[in-house]
Amino acid sequence: MRHFSLVFTLFSVVFLLSCNKYKAFQGRYIFKSESGRPAYDSLDYWAAHPWKWDPSDSVPKPLRNEVRDSMVDVFFLHPTTYTTKSKNKKQNAAIDDSYINAKTDYSSILYQASVFNQQCRVFAPRYRQAHIGNFFSTDENARQEAFAIAYADIKAAFTHYLNYWNNGRPIIIAAHSQGSFLAEKLLKEFFENSPLKNKLVVAYIIGWPVPKEYFTSLKMCGDSLQTGCICSWRTLKKGYIPSFLREENGNSYATNPLTWTTDSSYATRKLNKGSVLTKFNKIYKYTTDAQISNGLLFVKRPRFPGSFLYFSKNYHPGDINLFYLNMRENIKQRIALFWKQ
């Protein structure tokens, strides 16, 4: 089992919104799958797609004067949103579960996938994600089967995207948490030692480790402008290493999203251009510093209104949102350099 214990806090919402709010959106997801599988020729099975309005199209109010361009596609894999504690839960989410789809769209797709919308067409497939309990299960066969089902959907969605919508366009692969675990497999199968690698602008594999021995031709990005490479980080409070991460011993790569380097140099809060947290239309500047150590990204307690009440030491839910504007700027930078090559 590789790094499954990392998912101690794999609740996909970025600073979770209320369950009642998700339920208020359930009526928008009334489609049903007769086979129980996604049909990716239907937009119902895409949490985000450029041919429909969805929460990934939302732009924080202070950024709405930006000039937008979309000459590049992002294929985004959302994190775990199937977290029910019901005793009757299944190993994998139903693809047409209205509550899970509402939760996915108004948490991850709104707060995470939207970071790409200035420069990219956003494609985010729904998939039969593995229940969060699979990360802790001692039943190896059941766990492998659950993630095999999830990856089979991701592979089918990406294949459909390539066949019908890509048309030779450059691609960004991006993901968080369970999505990043699956994105690594996707990169390995479709991009590593493949001509498709020439279309890869960058891969943001966030909230999941990138083991140093996993890829061969795909490398970590060394700066803010390199393309065809990987960026990855997992955010923790300075000095805090959960027991389930101590055995890694620095065997994973990490990127500092304030400097876009992989060294251990310290980046001050002044380099943090803005976070998008619980209020989507509010940007908080200078919320965190950042420094890499032993394959992990450490920050001091984030500063935002009410942060003195935020006691968590594992900032996994905010891996993207703490660095929202830095990511948005970096996406633009890498795309610009990709076109110049």
Instruction: Encode pLDDT of 226-276 as tens digits.
Output: 999 999 999 999 999 988 888 888 899 999 999 999 999 999 999 999 999
The answer to whether 120 and 166 have CB atoms below 8 angstroms apart is no
**Single pTM value for the model:** 0.93
Of residues 10 and 73, more confidently modeled = 73
Which residue range is the domain that position 252 belongs to? 4-340
Mean of per-residue pLDDT scores for the chain? 92
Q: Side chain identity at 22, as an amino acid letter?
A: Y
> What pLDDT is attached to residue 3?
46
Scanning the chain, the segments in alpha helix (DSSP H) are: 19-24, 98-104, 110-111, 140-161, 178-190, 324-340
> For residue range 207-219, what is the model confidence (pLDDT) as tens digits?
999 999 999 999 9
What is d(CA 234, CA 254) in angstroms, rounded to the nearest whole number? 8
In the chain, how many domains are there?
1
